């Protein structure tokens, strides 16, 4: 799968849910590791994933509202 197909998938509602779910799972994993170890790079990655999950959620909600 190339980047163009991934980008096209990311523009769909299904893709947003898929990417959001994967990012949410990774967020949970790295947040748990960061709390346990206190490692700054894990906290940084947790913050980046939190922003990504937020962006996907907002884009999904905008898509749902516009579809009505």
Is pLDDT above 70 for 1?
Answer: no
Q: Does a structural domain hold residue 7? A: no
Mind listing the pLDDT tens digit for each residue in 3-29? 899 889 888 889 989 999 999 999 999
> What is the reported pTM?
0.82
Helix-strand-coil percent breakdown of the chain, rounded to 5?
Answer: 90, 0, 10
pLDDT for res 6:
85
Mind listing the pLDDT tens digit for each residue in 52-64? 999 999 999 998 8
Q: What are phi and psi of 2, to 5 degrees?
A: -95, 175
Q: Which domain holds residue 23?
A: 13-67
Q: Does a structural domain hold residue 41? A: yes
Q: Does a structural domain hold residue 2? A: no
| Residue 16 buriedness (CB in 10 A; 0-12 / 13-18 / 19+) | buried
Per the structure, the count of domains in the chain is 1
């Amino acid at each position: 799968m190339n980047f163009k197909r991934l980008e096209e998938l990311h523009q769909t509602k299904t893709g947003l849910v898929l990417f959001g779910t994967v990012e949410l799972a990774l967020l949970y994993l790295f947040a748990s590791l960061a709390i346990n170890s206190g490692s700054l790079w894990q906290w940084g990655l947790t913050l980046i994933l939190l922003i990504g999950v937020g962006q996907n959620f907002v884009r999904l909600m905008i898509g749902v509202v516009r579809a009505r």
